């Protein structure tokens, strides 16, 4: 496992870290015993950073991670806050609510201090409200948080967030189907020594190469009920890419996949070719997915000609659909 520095925290975290949404909810049936086996397998492979949120299974994911950290106190745990708001408005990101969300996560995680708290894709106005970041500063001073960062929908939100001096990390969608962050944004985060967590690294499973036009998802899987942002942010599910167009692009990517790599590994290794990225955070619901996802930093670098071919696939199929929206 390769380890990379996370912002200015002093932590070195696994280049492939564990995204814990799927073990909480919204990805079909989930079994806690299978989830715990997957988490333990990730530890065995050298994963030391786990990303969760208070709304993943209404705390289910946080509680699973809490049990894991009891057995493995060396790991770093990031969680997120804000999506418990209903309605989800900028005004809800106030001292009382944020403090309550933090207290709830502290209880779920069975800890006195959260390693890294991230605002959970808040409304755009929040990034222009310094008082919100002042609340986070106060929570750090009080010992409830060690560090904080943001999870964003848009590059522009990330650029605004890193103007706040104590933001340590930005979580953003970055994958073969969402390449815009590699432009101006990555240069700015490197300049400011900000950690980048590449979320939705497999475009909700499209980039595994295993989905087909006939694939059917369970009713409690967001890939069934949120394809066009019906339930939450447009652009999250399948990275905002039309499903059928995404499948066409996947076929083109399969044709250029290096020997010895699955398409999943190709997609994850591609992300790690960008040195601004601290870690990719794929999910895993079982040990087989862990084995495939978390060994990629040990794979050889992707040659320049393959990187250029990925860019060409993006330009042909994907760019017009997503590039200037997020």
Task: Tell me how far CA of residue 131 lies from CA of 11, 134, 137, 138, in angstroms.
Answer: 27, 5, 10, 10
Query: What is the rounded CA–CA span in Å between residue 264 and residue 299?
Result: 12
Query: What is the rounded CA–CA span in Å between residue 24 and residue 20?
Result: 7
Non-local CB neighbours of 247 within 8 Å, separated by 6+ positions: 206, 211, 212, 213
**pLDDT tens per residue, range 160-207:** 999 999 999 999 999 999 999 999 999 999 999 999 999 999 998 999
Has residue 231 got a pLDDT over 80? no
Instruction: Measure CA 291 to chain center.
Output: 19
Mean pLDDT on 111-119: 99
Query: What is the three-class DSSP state of 211?
Result: coil
Angle at 208 between CA 293 and CA 313, to 5 degrees: 120
Quick one: pLDDT band at residue 27, thresholds 50, 70, 90? low
**Cα Rg of the chain, angstroms:** 18
Quick one: pLDDT band at residue 234, thresholds 50, 70, 90? confident
Quick one: pLDDT band at residue 223, thresholds 50, 70, 90? confident
Query: What is the rounded CA–CA span in Å between residue 72 and residue 170?
Result: 25
What per-residue confidence (pLDDT) applies to 249? 98
**pLDDT tens per residue, range 273-325:** 999 999 999 999 899 999 999 999 999 999 999 999 999 999 999 999 999 98
Q: What is the pTM of this model?
A: 0.94
Query: What is the rounded CA–CA span in Å between residue 79 and residue 152?
Result: 14
Quick one: pLDDT band at residue 237, thresholds 50, 70, 90? confident
What per-residue confidence (pLDDT) applies to 149? 99
Mean pLDDT on 6-17: 98
Determine contact, residues 55/303, Cβ cutoff 8 Å: no
Q: What percent of the chain has pLDDT over 90?
A: 87
Q: Which of 51, 111, 123, 48 is nearest to 83 (CA)?
A: 123
Determine contact, residues 257/311, Cβ cutoff 8 Å: no
What residues pair up with 172 in beta bridges, in sequence order? 198
- Lookup result for tokens 């103007």: 163
Q: Which of 3, 4, 7, 9 is nearest to 193 (CA)?
A: 7
Quick one: pLDDT band at residue 239, thresholds 50, 70, 90? confident
Domain count, the chain: 1
Query: What is the rounded CA–CA span in Å between residue 47 and residue 284?
Result: 12
Q: Which domain holds residue 237?
A: 3-322
What per-residue confidence (pLDDT) applies to 132? 99
CATH code of the domain covering residue 120: 3.20.20.100
Query: What is the rounded CA–CA span in Å between residue 50 and residue 253?
Result: 29
């Amino acid at each position: 496992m390769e380890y990379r520095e996370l912002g200015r925290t002093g932590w070195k975290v696994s280049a492939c870290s564990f995204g814990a949404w799927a073990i909480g909810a919204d990805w079909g049936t989930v079994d806690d015993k299978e989830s715990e086996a997957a988490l333990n397998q990730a530890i065995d492979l050298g994963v030391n950073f786990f990303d969760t949120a208070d709304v993943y299974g209404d705390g289910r994911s946080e509680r699973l991670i809490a049990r894991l950290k009891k057995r493995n106190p060396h790991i770093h745990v990031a969680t997120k806050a804000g999506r418990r708001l209903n309605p989800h408005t900028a005004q809800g990101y106030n001292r009382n609510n944020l403090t309550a969300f933090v207290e709830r996560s502290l209880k779920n995680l069975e800890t006195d201090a959260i390693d890294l708290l991230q605002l959970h894709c808040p409304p755009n106005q929040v990034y222009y409200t310094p008082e919100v970041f002042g609340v986070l500063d106060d929570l750090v001073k009080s010992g409830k948080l060690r560090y904080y960062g943001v999870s964003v929908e848009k590059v522009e939100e990330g650029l605004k967030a890193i103007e706040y001096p104590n933001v340590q990390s930005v979580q953003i969608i970055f994958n073969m189907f969402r390449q815009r962050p590699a432009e101006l944004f990555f240069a700015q985060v490197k300049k400011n020594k900000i950690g980048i967590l590449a979320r939705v690294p497999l475009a909700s499973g499209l980039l595994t190469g295993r989905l087909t036009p006939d694939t059917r998802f369970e009713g409690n899987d967001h890939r069934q009920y949120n394809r066009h942002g019906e339930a939450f942010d447009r652009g999250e599910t399948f990275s905002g890419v039309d499903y059928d167009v995404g499948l066409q692009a996947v076929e083109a990517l399969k044709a250029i996949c290096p020997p010895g790599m699955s398409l999943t590994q190709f997609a994850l290794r591609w992300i790690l070719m960008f040195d601004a990225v601290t870690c990719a955070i794929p999910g895993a619901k079982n040990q087989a997915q862990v084995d495939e996802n978390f060994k990629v930093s040990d794979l050889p670098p992707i040659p320049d000609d393959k990187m250029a071919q990925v860019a060409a696939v993006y330009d042909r199929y994907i760019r017009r659909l997503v590039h200037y929206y997020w």
